[in-house]
Structure 1
Amino acid sequence: MKKTFHAILRGDSSIRSMLKQSYQTIIIAMAVPTVIMTVAMLVMTARYGELIDNIDRAAEIRDLVKTQFAEEIWNIVSGKKEFDEGSQYDMINRVDEGLRDLEENSENAARYVVAAQRANDTLRTYVDALHDQIRNQAAVSLQESSYRDIVSVVGLTYTVLEQYINEELITISRLNHQIQAVALAVLVLIVMILLLVIYFAVNSFHHMRVSIYKPILELEEMTRRITNGDLDARAADSLVEELAPLTKSLNHMAGRLQQLIDERIEVGQNLQKAEMRALQAQITPHFVYNTLETIIWLAEQERNQELVDIAMAFTDFLRISLNQGKDYVTVVNEQMHVQSYLSIQSVRYHNIMTYRIDIDPELGNYPILKLLLQPLVENAIYHGIKNKRGGGHIQVTGEKNPDNTMTFTVADDGIGMTEEKLNKVLVRLRGTSLSESSGFGLYNVNRRIRLYYNRELEIDSKYGRGTSIRFTLPCREWDYD
């Protein structure tokens, strides 16, 4: 090598062969660590892809059990679908097949797959029992008990699969550290070989030095940034053939890691927003559409003051409904929310509906769980006033009691309910699940009062005379975020 270096400096005629030999030396020197790194990266990437596939498959099974299967069983128990028409066994078989695939491809998290298989076997047993009960026309209470057992096992399966996914994510994290360590070791080796080659051929191979050393520095910088937690780091596509697979694999690794982290963050955010979406279900598209159509109609009629009033009422309604994601508002804000809603509805139903709101001002600053009164008022309009010939009146009251509690009442003189229908409503309110077609507003309010205050709605109704719904809450100091 020393002789070759002196020949290059003298410009001997053999310089071409020396350059060729130098090129060969550089190619060999670069190929060896690149091949080692590429093989290691391909092996680790294959494992990485397998883990991702396992997570995707587990998530698919989890969602199948939690949503589709639970909904299918509910449709059967509620009588919306015959047992033989349902696809529950097909879903169980699909879950079983998916779990077998996971068992074959899982290592560290295999125990969770085994637990999920046992839960799925138990699920099949409960479904068989439900089939026997339906076929033998067993009591509804027994069918409901079987349904609760099935829902419990569905929840267990969901939890086990969540644990499996978390375990696989931990394995991915460990694999990521291994990839970084391999990449860093290979990069150090490449730099060392490069420095040795550059020592003998710095002048004649300057362009090659730049073309190789620059992407290596970019990859080194990328690994350093990833190590420091910057998963947005990317390396530019390398023009060096041997480094292109490494760059692509590292970029893919960083992208997939960022995607997984974003997905986990999104799952967490969705879980936090799930209840919020349920609480805001009262803002139905139908109501929004009708309000906007009313605004357009007032604009066309050039009824400007009424247009301004309803627009402001709609704005206040939405603002208080959302409340920056907070669960509690003051009583006065809840009153304003109901006032805005009734102001909007009174434009549409002014011929059939009158209303009055009478809430003790002393209650104004007490905290209350938001969206409790509006669903009850909406229920009074659509199930009471609209169904009565000639319309009716809605009365919303709130008063403070001597025992430091406050009672709110929403009463109407609408069509009311028969004793049989009232009993059905009360039974549904005490249940654990309810479809929107069965009084979702009442159920939602009652469920939230039960969860947050350990109280329930009280309903009095007489057919042809009207309905009164009330609830009592403690007067607490404001200590909510």
Structure 2
Amino acid sequence: MVQKRSLFRATTESTGALSSAPMMAPVEPSARLLPHLNLSLRSKMLLAFSVLILILGIPYIFLAIPILQYQGQYNRIIDNITAANSINGYIKFAIDAEMWDIIAGKEDFYTADQYAILDDVDAKLAIMRETSTSQRGKLKLRVIQNTMNTLRRDVERVGAQISAGATFDENMVLLERIRWVSELVEEGVQDYMLFEVNRTEQQYRALEAGLQQWIYVSVIGMLVAVAFSIAAALRISRSIYLPIKKLHDVTTTIAREDLEPLVTSDNVDEITELGMSFNIMVGKVRELLAAKMQEQENLKKAELRVLQAQINPHFLYNTLDTIIWMVESKRTAQVVDLVRALSRFFRISLSKGEDWITIGEEFEHVSSYLAIQKIRYRDILDYQIDVDETILSATILKLTLQPLVENALYHGIKNKRSGGVIRVRGRAAGT
């Protein structure tokens, strides 16, 4: 709080006569900024402060409501992304392993945990759908729920076949279908996560726009408040000053030359305090915007990681199983080649945490992936890689090609069982 001290010095008169009437101070033009109100000083101050509160408070209330709504939607989106992430990578691994143990005779169908797994995922999907604020998001979740219903029916069919005494091969056919359906569930969950990550960016932009409007209205409201405060201060100070000035004019007529009466007044500058509060408020708003920008940057990085998280975790398990099988078969040379390819694959996948690598490294990564899959699917898979050497040093987003090659393998060759060739070519644009 800034305090100013005003000094008023009484002047002496040498006439020795008292004035028959007190002197009136002239009315200042600035005092006419507010209309004359026949109110007490206390009432005028209460009225001025009430109007000032309305000027400052109402715009903030109207702007705070949509900002709080955006914040609530943003939090619900983050909660749904977290729930979807707990499903991704869990449902396929858990249900596939559980159903294999049942078919292989390791567990009893009626005491195993397959229904607990399905119920857990269904419960999370139901909560996500209920809290979702987007019709498109609800539709995506409904598709995932329908796929889960199909998966549940297939699990029940396994139980029916086991009860009917079906053969192992018959149950394995149904297990392959369960694996395929569980993979569809995970793909749907990943698609929903990407959709919600994109929505967080939209919500952030809406929140940022709301904050900017809040700042603009705050500035305008502050300017209006300052103008009103000045006018009210002039009007109220005049109502205080005039009676004091009258008393001063009367007392100066009886003052002596050797008397130097000194009147002090401690004033409180509310406008200065208000300006300081506004600066603090703007500083906090800037900090909030900076935090939101950093949060948006983190969300973009999360989106990038989601886009790169297309590697099926079963790829590593299957590769290790293949290595074990080859070691047991004493195929040492092929084991060395496979381990070397796997080492190159994960070396480039990690890439010291970098998100961008050279095109040469990306093609080496795809080549290692296909070399590993060639050993596993040697009877049906062949591949060709042709890349222009002039583009090898250019950079590309890490793991851009591997999901495409994986889709070509699992959806274009594996299901056909008749063999196929995957060709990967790289050329500069316009050549």
In the superposition, the TM-score normalised over structure 1's length comes to 0.48
- CA distance in 2 between counterparts of 1:447 and 1:27 reads 75
Is contact 1:66–1:154 with CA below 8 Å preserved after alignment? yes
The higher-RCO structure (CA 8 Å, 6+ apart) is 2
Q: What percentage of aligned pairs have identical amino acids?
A: 19
Offset, 1:190: 1.1
Q: Alpha carbons of 1:4 and 1:269: their partners in 2 closer, same or farther (altered >3 Å)?
A: farther
Counterparts of 1:33 and 1:209, CA distance in 2: 18
Equivalenced residue count is: 287
Counterpart in 1 of 2:221? Answer: 193
Amino acid at match of 2:224: L
Question: What is aligned with 1:426?
Answer: none
Structure 1 unpaired stretches of 5+? 9-13, 224-232, 235-250, 285-316, 328-366, 374-442, 456-475
- Aligned partner of 1:71 in structure 2 is 97
Once the two structures are TM-superposed, the CA of residue 130 in structure 1 deviates from its matched residue by: 1.2
* Secondary structure in structure 2 of the residue aligned to 1:453: strand
**Cα distance between partner residues in 2 of 1:320 and 1:130:** 35
Amino acid at match of 1:446: I
Q: Return the offset for 1:145.
A: 0.8
Alignment partner, residue 347 of structure 2: 325
- The answer to whether the 8 Å contact 1:116/1:161 transfers is yes
Q: Distance in 2 between matches of 1:96 and 1:368?
A: 36
Provide the C-alpha distance between the structure 1 equivalents of 2:109 and 2:315, rounded to a whole number of angstroms.
Answer: 34
Question: What does residue 210 of structure 1 align with?
Answer: 276
Is the 2:197–2:303 contact (alpha carbons within 8 Å) kept by the matching residues of 1? no
Contact 2:103 2:172 in 1 (8 A): yes
Please point out which of 302, 323, 330 is paired with 1:263: 302
Task: Note the C-alpha offset of 1:198.
Answer: 2.7
Aligned partner of 1:81 among 96, 107, 112: 107
Aligned to 2:359: none
Map of 1:154 onto structure 2: 182
* 1:411-461 C-alpha deviation (Å, 9 max, x unpaired): xxxxxxxxxxxxxxxxxxxxxxxxxxxxxxxx9772275687369xxxxxx
Using the size of structure 2 for normalisation, the TM-score is 0.53
Asked whether the equivalents of residues 154 and 174 of structure 2 are also in contact (C-alpha less than 8 Å), the reply is yes
Query: Which of 446, 454, 457 is the aligned partner of 2:375?
Result: 446
Listed one character per residue, the Cα deviations across residues 160-190 of structure 1 (whole Å, up to 9, x for unaligned) are: 2222233333333332232222222222111
- Check whether the contact 2:158–2:171 (CA below 8 A) recurs between aligned residues: yes
With 167-176 and 45-54 compared, the bigger mean Cα shift is at 167-176
Retained in 2: the 8 A contact 1:321–1:371?
A: no
Contact 2:84 2:193 in 1 (8 A): yes
Q: Provide Cα deviations, 1:75-126, integer angstroms capped at 9, x if missing partner.
A: 2233332323311112222233333333333342222222222212211211
CA distance in 1, matches of 2:369, 2:184: 32
How far, CA to CA, are the matches of 2:286 and 2:79 in structure 1?
29
* Structure 2 residue 146 is matched with structure 1 residue 133: no
Q: How far apart are the structure 2 equivalents of 1:55 and 1:135?
A: 39
Q: 1:175 to 1:121 in 2, by over 3 A?
A: same
Rate the CA distance shift 1:140–1:274 in 2: closer, same or farther, 3 A.
closer
**What's 2:196 paired with?**
168
Q: 1:85 to 1:444 in 2, by over 3 A?
A: farther
Name the SS of the counterpart of 1:118 in structure 2. Answer: helix
In the TM superposition, what whole-angstrom CA distance separates every residue of 1:51-74 from its partner, at most 9, and x where no partner exists? 222232333334442222222122
1:234-253 mapped onto 2 (5 Å cutoff): 234=291, 251=292
* Distance change (3 Å), C-alpha of 1:272 and 1:220: same
Residue aligning to 2:406: none
User: Secondary structure in 2 aligned to 1:80?
Assistant: coil
Q: Any idea what the Cα deviations from partners look like across 1:264-313, whole Å, max 9, x if unmatched?
A: 3333444469699679969x9xxxxxxxxxxxxxxxxxxxxxxxxxxxxx
Between 76-85 and 118-127, report the one with greater CA deviation: 76-85
Give the direction of change, closer, same or farther, for the CA distance of 1:58–1:319 in structure 2 (3 Å limit). closer
Whether the aligned pair in 2 keeps the contact of 1:4 and 1:18 (CA below 8 Å) is no
Q: Any idea what SS the aligned residue of 1:115 has?
A: helix
| Gap runs ≥5 in structure 2 | 1-26, 34-39, 231-268, 324-338, 350-364, 385-422
Contact 1:280 1:321 in 2 (8 A): no
1:212 Cα deviation from its structure 2 partner: 0.7
Q: Which amino acid in the other structure matches residue 182 of structure 1?
A: G
Give the greater-gyration-radius structure (CA).
Answer: 2
User: Does the C-alpha gap of structure 1 residues 270 and 112 become closer, same or farther in structure 2, counting only changes over 3 Å?
Assistant: closer
1:122 pairs, out of 129, 142, 150, with 150
**1:72–1:87 contact (8 Å) kept in structure 2:** yes
Aligned residues of 2:70 and 2:207 also touching (Cα < 8 A): yes
Runs of 4+ in 1 over 4 A off after TM superposition: 2-8, 14-26, 200-204, 220-223, 272-282, 317-320, 367-373, 448-452
Question: How big is the shift at 1:147?
Answer: 0.6
Which of 195, 219, 240 in structure 1 is aligned with 2:285? 219
1-structure distance, mates of 2:111, 2:197: 38
RMSD: 4.7
The residue matched to 1:133 in structure 2 has which SS?
Answer: helix
Amino acid at match of 1:165: M
Which of 73, 95, 98 in structure 1 is aligned with 2:121? Answer: 95
| Contact in 2 for aligned 1:113/1:164 (Cα 8 Å) | yes
Per the alignment, residue 80 of structure 2 pairs with: 54
The one-letter code matched in structure 2 to 1:169 is: V
- Give the AA of the match of 1:325: R
Q: How far is 1:153 from its partner?
A: 0.9
CA contact (8 A) 1:57 1:98 kept: yes
Quote the Cα distance in structure 2 between the aligned partners of 1:127 and 1:318: 39
